[in-house]
Amino acid sequence: MHYKSNHILKLPFTVPFLLFLLASGLAAGAEEDTQESRFQEHIVEFHNGDVRLAGSLLVPEGVSSCPAVVFVHGAGRNTRKQHQELGKYFASNGIAALIYDKRGTGESGGVYESHEPYKNLVDDALAAVDLLKQRPEIAQSQIGIWGLSQGAYISAAAASRTQDIKFVITAGASVADGSFFYYCDNLFRKHGLSDTLRDLAAKGHFVTRDLNETMQGGLSLSSFVPRSYPPPDQYLHPAWSHVTQPVLAMWGELDQIIPVGESVAGMRNSLAHANNDRWTMIILPNANHDLGLSETGELQSKWRGYAPGALKTMTDWARATLNDPSQIDAKKQVGVAPEAGILSRYASYEGLRWYGNATVQIALWVLFFTVFLINTIIILYRRLSRRSKPTLPGLGWPDRLKRMLSLLNFLIMIALTITILLVIDQIRPSCPTVLRFLPILGTVSTFATIAVVIGFATTRRDFDWTTTSKFWWSLDLLCLMLFVPYMLYWNLIGFHF
């Protein structure tokens, strides 16, 4: 382990730090601390393999050996600045704080990551713990870890791997199935997306997440089989179910990023699996995902500071846990949060997993796009070369309608792809007014497909088929007929989204 250190004397701070809370879960800002205090900031670096990570160690001034906490980011391209004010609060209250730039951001090297599997991010956090163990001003037996949202998962995974971490503090921990669907549904509702658009967006996320899982684990028959989910109080989290250290878990009652009720139940059961009863769970009223003040919990709202007493609760609990472990509260819960009922809605998408999974959807998209594009090119070629005579005179109008329908479906494919990309935006999902009427084209396409099938059935005997014509007509008809349930799945049959 290698590190560099410089230090700067820091004076009392009183200016609140304001920013917008993104869905990624930024943790900037802190309560105002009225007591005067001084601390030093040491610029440090540490390594996880070949990756150099840069950060700051905020140490209470005049203390020879003090406890310390590693602060772990939530999702997103976050630097140490997002934890600076929080770290200052801890340092001002006698607990050193190590804040650092996530890999691939700020002054840290490596490639940015913010997705599962979290192995590299967990190893980064463990490397930060190793750095603290080598610092003379840090008490090696009093090192804890703090994590927000995704960082809570990473903190739990790190704590499950080493007893060098003596306690865990989390904010907005997701310990339940369907959390991402819950967040997206609230985000889409905030931006005024209709029920059908929210359904379309949820299916889009279902495909992208399934694609990630397939790429990581490989394609198997299980990819096509609907999965069942245990009730929240029987959920076992892969990391929390192995955490044995004391835990302080805090949530905002109005959290719209993760379902609080389900997460509380899931964490209780997971810690019970680890035979860990040294936990305190607190649900703060009038607080959102990052424990900030809020009346509604609205996503991406302006930062107004932490809920009263939130940070004091953290530092007081950490000191009490370290000073007298025998007095740690057992199975203490403050506040309640009803379950959001997210599982029943999330599981409904599993019913069509055989059709909605990434493998089937990508294969259908490629098939439709290719066949409809070929027919579109043929139409354009005929127009440019002024060939009005149909290629298949025996099929007359059905052949012309089939070509025009392929052109329409090609345009629908492009518009649908654009719509999905817009509505699955995790920051500001949207759908232009013109695209909201896309289902009208889908309805026209459906009736036109019926007409083509009827026309083909009534005129096919009058045509002298060749092997080539049989193949192309069969392929075109197959695509046109398969496209109808495809449009139905993506809510493209109707009047508007």
* DSSP-assigned states of every residue in 253-290: TT-SSS-HHHHHHHHHHHHHHTT---EEEEEETTB-TT
Q: Assess whether 195 and 311 both reside in one domain.
A: no
pTM over 0.75: yes
Q: Assess whether 305 and 431 both reside in one domain.
A: no
- Identify the pLDDT of residue 226: 86
The token pair at 307 is 């809920």
CA atoms in the 13 A half-sphere facing the CB of 235: 23
pLDDT digits (tens, 9 = 90+) for 26-80: 343 444 444 455 888 999 999 999 999 999 999 998 888 899 999 999 998 999 9
Contacts of 182 (CB under 8 A, 6+ apart): 256, 257, 258, 259, 340, 342, 346
Which of 327, 348, 369 is the last residue in one of the domains? 348
Cα–Cα dist 91/61, whole Å: 9
Q: Assess whether 419 and 435 both reside in one domain.
A: yes
Cα–Cα dist 305/289, whole Å: 12
pLDDT digits (tens, 9 = 90+) for 299-322: 878 888 889 999 999 999 999 999
Domain count, the chain: 2
Phi and psi of 78, rounded to 5°? -105, 140
Q: Which of 75-89, 96-110, 423-437 has the highest mean pLDDT?
A: 96-110
Contact 409, 480 (CB under 8 A): yes
- Identify the pLDDT of residue 79: 93
- Identify the pLDDT of residue 116: 78
Cα of first residue to Cα of last residue in the chain, in angstroms, is: 56
Kindly give the residue spans of alpha helices, DSSP state H, lying in 118-194: 119-134, 150-159, 179-190
- Identify the pLDDT of residue 398: 75
Determine which of 240-249, 264-273, 315-324, 395-404 has the lowest per-residue pLDDT on average. Answer: 395-404
- Identify the pLDDT of residue 222: 78
- Identify the pLDDT of residue 414: 96
Q: What percent of the chain has pLDDT over 90?
A: 59
- Identify the pLDDT of residue 63: 81
* Residue with the two structure tokens 């600076």: 84
Does residue 1 lie in a domain region? Answer: no
**Neighbouring C-beta atoms of residue 283, cutoff 10 Å:** 21
What CATH number is associated with residue 120? 3.40.50.1820
Q: Assess whether 173 and 80 both reside in one domain.
A: yes
Q: Which of 108-117, 120-129, 218-227 has the highest mean pLDDT?
A: 120-129
Q: Assess whether 148 and 212 both reside in one domain.
A: no
Does residue 2 lie in a domain region? Answer: no
Q: Assess whether 322 and 237 both reside in one domain.
A: yes
> Residue 10 — very low, low, confident or very high, per pLDDT cuts 50/70/90?
very low
Does residue 295 lie in a domain region? Answer: yes
Does residue 241 lie in a domain region? Answer: yes
Q: Is the dihedral of CA 443, 446, 452, 458 positive or negative?
A: negative
Which of 348, 372, 404 is the last residue in one of the domains? 348
Contacts of 117 (CB under 8 A, 6+ apart): 216
* Residue with the two structure tokens 């379902």: 259
Q: What percent of the chain has pLDDT over 70?
A: 89
Distances, alpha carbon 367 to alpha carbons 187, 399, 483, in Å: 32, 20, 10
Q: What is the mean predicted confidence (pLDDT) over 158-185? A: 93
Q: Assess whether 280 and 413 both reside in one domain.
A: no
Look over the chain and give the mean of its residue pLDDT values, rounded to a whole number.
86
The token pair at 182 is 């819950």
Q: Assess whether 91 and 204 both reside in one domain.
A: no
CA-CA-CA-CA torsion for 421, 424, 425, 427, nearest 10 degrees? 170
Higher pLDDT: 459 or 38? It is 38
Q: Assess whether 104 and 130 both reside in one domain.
A: yes
Does residue 270 lie in a domain region? Answer: yes
Q: Assess whether 331 and 464 both reside in one domain.
A: no
Does residue 137 lie in a domain region? Answer: yes
Q: Which of 2-6, 11-15, 367-371 has the highest mean pLDDT?
A: 367-371
Q: Is residue 121 predicted with pLDDT exceeding 80?
A: yes
- Identify the pLDDT of residue 62: 80
pLDDT digits (tens, 9 = 90+) for 23-37: 334 343 444 444 455
**Neighbouring C-beta atoms of residue 439, cutoff 10 Å:** 20
Q: Is residue 17 predicted with pLDDT exceeding 50?
A: no
- Identify the pLDDT of residue 304: 85
Q: Assess whether 289 and 378 both reside in one domain.
A: no
Does residue 316 lie in a domain region? Answer: yes
Does residue 423 lie in a domain region? Answer: yes
- What domain range includes position 373? 181-227+357-497
Q: Assess whether 282 and 413 both reside in one domain.
A: no
Which of 348, 371, 391 is the last residue in one of the domains? 348
The token pair at 215 is 């790429």
Q: What is the mean predicted confidence (pLDDT) over 364-379? A: 91
- Identify the pLDDT of residue 408: 95
Q: What is the mean predicted confidence (pLDDT) over 408-419? A: 96
Phi and psi of 322, rounded to 5°? -80, -35
Cα–Cα dist 203/452, whole Å: 30
- Identify the pLDDT of residue 33: 47
Three-state DSSP class for residue 54: strand
